[in-house]
Amino acid sequence: MSATAHFPTKGVRNIRQLSLDELTQYFETLGEPRFRAKQVWEWLWAKQAHTFADMTNLSKDLRQKLGQHFTLPALTVDATQYSADGTVKSRFRTHEGHLCEGVLIPTEERFTACVSSQIGCSLACKFCATGYIDRKRNIDFDEIYDEVVLLNQQSEKVYNRKLTNIVFMGMGEPLLNYKNVLKAIERITAPDGLAMSPRRITVSTAGVAKAIRQLGDDKVKFKLALSLHAPNDAKRNEIMNINASNDLKSLVEALNYFYQQTKSEITLEYILFNDFNDSQKDAEELVKLYRQIPADLVNIIEYNPIDFAKYEKPTEQRMEEFMGYLAKHRVNARLRRSRGKDIDAACGQLANKEGISS
């Protein structure tokens, strides 16, 4: 069998898309020992090599052959911003020039990477800056892996601490990029990858009921968050187009199924908008909804205004009254304050704005 029988002579296939078995087969076609595959695999994932030249325990000739047969596209940091509160936002560039953003969020106990799953977004939620950007494409699993690696490098550089948590709450809808998100998490949690516990990973969805059920069937170990943001279908339809095909009844049923299959933690995310979903009646409806879902927590989120949307943040008193009602009715809720607002890194603000300092 020749080296070109199953592998192209020109570098047109991304080597990180190969399995370890496929990589082993490749080296066998070259007449190389099988352990070469494990060496390269380690460079690709555990050591995070971004060029074949980095693979210094391979001969120069072998590295050249890899370059002839494969590509090794990787995300690069295009620009970085530092917030006064310690948040770090990075704009990443793909091999063909697309942009996406990720955020490092430091607290006393946690160092969290907020990663993107799509270039832009197709859901067009009215309050979210990413929703005003057309979806260019899904982000591949190895690129999502790169986001985590690059944000971890920033955490180590700036704070001398490794990442402790990952949230899929950046640009895009993770469950509309299902295979790549799950494959990225498999690599992130693998012992020969980043070896992070899946319990420290949260995937946030705007509500794709069919995919939530699929997560249950796939028995995933990571946590799930639902971007709820309204306590009834009428209001949710107004701000989230996805609710027309994934109403609250279908989401309640899907979340219950997910929990039955996985016993994984569920969080409800609820952004407060002034004079829209922040009244006592809204709080009452949220309590009723909460009691239908096996949710561990309701994150009440401070709204971050964006240029394109009409929504505003409620007053402190209004937010406190809302939180007080939830506490009175024994809802496990916490008010999540915005981080990185001064660099457009807060929830709903990621928009690939130009002018970020590199």
60 and 143 together in one domain:
no
176 and 32 together in one domain:
no
The reply to whether 357 sits in an annotated binding site is no
280 and 297 together in one domain:
yes
The reply to whether 100 sits in an annotated binding site is no
What pLDDT is attached to residue 309?
74
Give the pLDDT band (50/70/90) at residue 300: very high
55 and 160 together in one domain:
no
- pLDDT: which is higher, 1 or 351: 351
The reply to whether 125 sits in an annotated binding site is yes
212 and 314 together in one domain:
yes
pLDDT in tens, 145-171: 999 999 999 999 999 999 999 999 999
Dist CA 109 CA 159 (whole Å):
12
Residue 315 DSSP one-character state = P
Is a pLDDT exceeding 90 seen at residue 339?
no
User: 12, 34, 69 — which closes off a domain?
Assistant: 69
Determine, yes or no, domain membership for 352: no
Parent domain of 274: 76-343
The reply to whether 229 sits in an annotated binding site is yes
Catalytic residue set: 101, 347
Determine, yes or no, domain membership for 299: yes
150 and 59 together in one domain:
no
98 and 44 together in one domain:
no
Give the pLDDT band (50/70/90) at residue 344: low
Determine, yes or no, domain membership for 131: yes
Dist CA 71 CA 11 (whole Å):
5
Closest CA relative to residue 147, chosen from 157, 135, 155? 155
Determine, yes or no, domain membership for 274: yes
167 and 50 together in one domain:
no
Determine, yes or no, domain membership for 348: no
What pLDDT is attached to residue 245?
97
What pLDDT is attached to residue 307?
73
User: 12, 37, 69 — which closes off a domain?
Assistant: 69
Which pairing describes strands 111-114 and 333-336: parallel, antiparallel, or unpaired? unpaired
Q: Domains in the chain: how many in total?
A: 2
The reply to whether 128 sits in an annotated binding site is yes
Determine, yes or no, domain membership for 65: yes
100 and 183 together in one domain:
yes
Q: Identify whether the C-beta of residue 102 lies closer than 8 Å to the C-beta of residue 113.
A: yes
Q: Could you give the dihedral angle defined by the CA atoms of residues 121, 122, 127 and 132, in that order, rounded to the nearest 10 degrees?
A: 70
- The CATH number assigned to the domain holding 30 equals 1.10.150.530
Is a pLDDT exceeding 60 seen at residue 341?
no
pTM for this model (two decimals) = 0.90
37 and 160 together in one domain:
no
Is a pLDDT exceeding 50 seen at residue 229?
yes
113 and 244 together in one domain:
yes
What pLDDT is attached to residue 305?
78
The reply to whether 173 sits in an annotated binding site is yes
The reply to whether 204 sits in an annotated binding site is yes
Q: Counting beta carbons within 10 angstroms of the beta carbon of residue 315, is it exposed (0 to 12), middle (13 to 18) or buried (19 or more)?
A: exposed
pLDDT in tens, 270-279: 999 999 999 9
124 and 46 together in one domain:
no
